[in-house]
Amino acid sequence: MAMDKLIKRTIDLTRVKDLMRLFPVTAILGPRQSGKTVLAGKIGYDHYFDLENPRDLAKFQQAQLILEELEGLIVIDEVQRSPELFPLIRFLTDNNPRQKYLILGSASGELLRQTSESLAGRAAYYELGGLGISDVGIKNIKKLWLRGGFPRAYLGASDTEAFLWLSNYISALLERDMPQMGINIPANTLRRFWTMICHYHGQIVNFSEIGRAFGVSDMTVRKYLDILEKTFMVRILQPWYVNVGKRLVKRPKVYVRDAGIFHSLMAIESSGTLTSHNKLGASWEGFALEASARSIGKRREEYYFWGTHTGAEVDLFWQAEGANWAVECKYDNSPTVTKSMKSAMKDLKLKHLWVVYPGKETYKLDKNITARPISGIGEKWEY
């Protein structure tokens, strides 16, 4: 049994099963090697097809003959390789209540576009990231932060082995996977761009500045960033606008989603290198933000950041239960209330603000501001 099969992934299993009870088709979307196939195996299925397997791909030349006689849960892996299947799946689920589909895909934007028309109202979508804190345990947070959440990197026998895998993963993504998705940009060009984006990790994106440094137009920068977002490699947070008399930041913020990928591209391949690196704080902020977003459980387009040109900001803003909420990530052993936090509480009319930090204790900073250790982030966000 592969080691990654031993990891329970309780949050992901629960959320996917909840969707499957409501919809005839559930799509698990996420980067390659994030564990989509293993998760499908944990759910249990009656039939499995992998469209990267030449034998299965050949079978699907007559897909209707193959699928229409089946019953139970049918898993189709790397489904974006055969977009012509979506109208057929719609027809089959409409006419055969004994069938359910779990479709797995590695390209979010493209797969969503393909399914939106054919499966409107019939499909639910779940984004699967890498391993989370609840999967690996509190005692392994530092290891997860350094190596990231890709199971094969996290489970490597050593840091050296983990980063060897990550280096090869990045190369394979750029040289093989992206061209298969129709992205015809030279691998070296996109690698250099991706590495440059690492220097903006956790910062406001200045498209013109990046374009000048890289020697391309603003539109090309936006195009390349869109590619990295669609393949789940970066998170682009849009700014939240509120009607206040302040100059608000109106450009997006960018993060490399997986800490291991970020560290690999920045040549940070050990805990010692990380603790002395000038990107230590930015790295931890991105790691804590992803952990928080995973626990909160909103769709990625429902997250924002907020900032003013005078420096007030919060890293993560969302709405739920009829109220406004926010998270600020601080690499600080004992965070305190700041002027920025008070400004955010007032201007955003926050019901509560959490300061996620690397310590061990949960404690009140102010009436509606709480310091929450990253180890205290559970399977479901506690309001």
Where do the H-state alpha helices sit in the chain?
A: 10-22, 36-43, 54-59, 63-67, 85-95, 108-118, 133-136, 141-147, 151-154, 159-172, 178-180, 187-198, 207-214, 218-230, 259-265, 271-275, 280-296, 339-347
pLDDT 10s digits, 257-296: 999 999 999 999 999 999 999 999 999 999 999 999 999 9
Q: Is residue 182 over pLDDT 80?
A: no
User: In the sheet that 72-77 helps form, which strands lie side by side, from edge to edge?
Assistant: 47-50, 72-77, 99-105, 25-29, 123-127
Question: What's the domain count of the chain?
Answer: 2
Q: What does the pLDDT read at residue 1?
A: 42
Domain identity same for 149 and 50:
no
| 244 pLDDT more than 80 | no
Which residues span the domain enclosing 28?
Answer: 3-127
Q: Is the pLDDT of residue 134 over 80?
A: yes
Same domain, yes or no: 158 and 300:
yes
Shared domain for 82 and 158, answered yes or no, is: no
More confident residue, 109 or 25: 25
| pLDDT at residue 350 tops 50 | yes
Report pLDDT digits (tens) over 43-87. Answer: 999 999 999 999 999 999 999 999 999 999 999 999 888 888 999
Residue 185: band (very low, low, confident or very high) from pLDDT cuts 50, 70, 90 = confident
Select from 88, 105, 127 the last residue of a domain. Answer: 127
Final residue of a structural domain among 99, 127, 155: 127
Tell me, yes or no, whether 11 lies in a domain.
yes
- Residue 181 shares a structural domain with residue 286: yes
Q: Can you give the pTM of this predicted structure?
A: 0.92
Residue 383 falls within a domain, yes or no?
A: no
5 pLDDT above the threshold of 70: no
Residues 6+ apart with CB under 8 A from 99: 24, 67, 70, 71, 72, 74, 92, 93
Domain co-membership, 363 together with 235: yes
Do 58 and 122 lie in one domain? The reply is yes
Last residue of one domain, picked from the residues 68, 98, 127: 127
- The pLDDT, as a whole number, for residue 213 is 85
Q: Are residues 94 and 194 in the same domain?
A: no
Q: Are residues 107 and 154 in the same domain?
A: no
Average pLDDT estimate for 224-239: 91
Same domain assignment for residues 156 and 111: no
Note whether residue 230 is domain-resident. Answer: yes
In this structure, is residue 381 part of a structural domain? no
- Give percent of the chain with pLDDT exceeding 90: 74
Q: How much is the pLDDT for 17?
A: 96
Please indicate, yes or no, whether residues 110 and 148 belong to a single structural domain of this protein.
no
